[in-house]
Amino acid sequence: MNNPDAGAPARPQEAAASPAAEAADHPERPVVSPDPRIPAATAGRPGAGTVVAASVRGLRVELAADRDVVSDVSFDIGAGEIVGLVGESGSGKTTVGMALLGFARRGAVIAAGSAVLAGTGSSGTTDILALPEKRRRTLRGRVVAYIPQDPAASLNPSLKIERQLSEVIRAHEGNGAGRQAAGERIRAVLAEVGLKPELTLGRYPHQLSGGQMQRVCIAMALILRPRVLVLDEPTTGLDVSTQAVILKLLRGLCTSHQIGALYVTHDLSVLAEIADRVLVMYAGRVVEDGGTSQVFGRAKHPYSRALLGSVPDVRHRTELSVIPGRTAPPGQRPSGCAFHPRCPLAEDRCKTKEPGTTDFDGHLVRCHRAAQVAGQADRVILPTPVPASGRTAVLSVRGLSAGYGQHAVLRDISLEVFEGECLAIVGESGSGKTTLSRCLIGLHAQQDGEVSYRGASLAAEARQRSAAHRQRLQYIFQSPFNSLNPRKSVSAILTTAYRTFFREGKETEQAAVADALAAVGLSARLGSALPDELSGGERQRVSIARALICQPDILLCDEVTSALDVSVQASILRLLGGLREERGLSMVFVTHNLAVVRNIADRVLVLAGGRVVETAPAAEILDNPRSHYTKTLISNTPSLDVTV
Q: Please report which confidence band the pLDDT of residue 124 belongs to, taking 50, 70 and 90 as the band edges.
A: confident
Q: Which fold has domain 18-143+227-373?
A: Rossmann fold (3.40.50)
Rounded to an integer, the average pLDDT of 260-288 is 95
DSSP string, 71-135: EEEEEEEETT-EEEEE--TTSSHHHHHHHTTT---TT-EEEEEEEEEET-STTSEEEGGGS-HHH
**Least reliable range by pLDDT among 222-226, 299-303, 380-384:** 380-384
Whether 18-143+227-373 and 393-483+550-642 share one fold: the answer is yes
Q: What is the DSSP string of 434-465?
A: HHHHHHHHTB--SEEEEEEETTEE--SBGGGS
Higher pLDDT, 636 or 176: 636
The residue with greater pLDDT, 470 or 536, is 470
Average pLDDT over residues 497-516: 94
CA–CA separation, 50 and 349 (whole Å): 39
pTM of the complete model: 0.86
Residue 38 has pLDDT above 70, yes or no: no
| Average pLDDT for the chain | 87
Q: For the domain 393-483+550-642, what is the CATH code? A: 3.40.50.300
Domain boundaries, the chain: 18-143+227-373, 150-225, 393-483+550-642
592-632: pLDDT as tens digits: 899 999 999 999 999 999 999 999 999 999 999 999 999 99
**What digits encode the pLDDT tens for the residues 581-597?**
999 999 999 998 999 99
Query: Quick check: 71 pLDDT over 90?
Result: yes
Residue 42 in this model has a pLDDT that exceeds 50: no
Alpha carbons 201 and 190: distance in angstroms, whole number: 9
Give the pLDDT mean for 297-315: 92
Stretch 70-80: mean pLDDT: 95
Q: Rank 108-122, 232-246, 513-527 by mean pLDDT and report only the highest.
A: 513-527
pLDDT band for 129, please (50, 70, 90 cuts): very high
Asked if pLDDT for residue 511 goes beyond 50, the answer is: yes
Query: pLDDT value at position 535?
Result: 84
Using DSSP's 3-state secondary structure scheme, residue 210 falls into: helix
What pLDDT does 33 receive?
33
> If residue 164 lies in a helix (H) or strand (E), which one and from where to where?
helix 161-173
Instruction: Return the beta strands (E) in 300-390 as ranges.
Output: 357-360, 363-366
Helix axes 210-222, 240-257, angle to 10 degrees: 10
Q: Taking residues 372-395, what's their average pLDDT?
A: 77
Cα angle 287, 290, 293; round to 5? 125
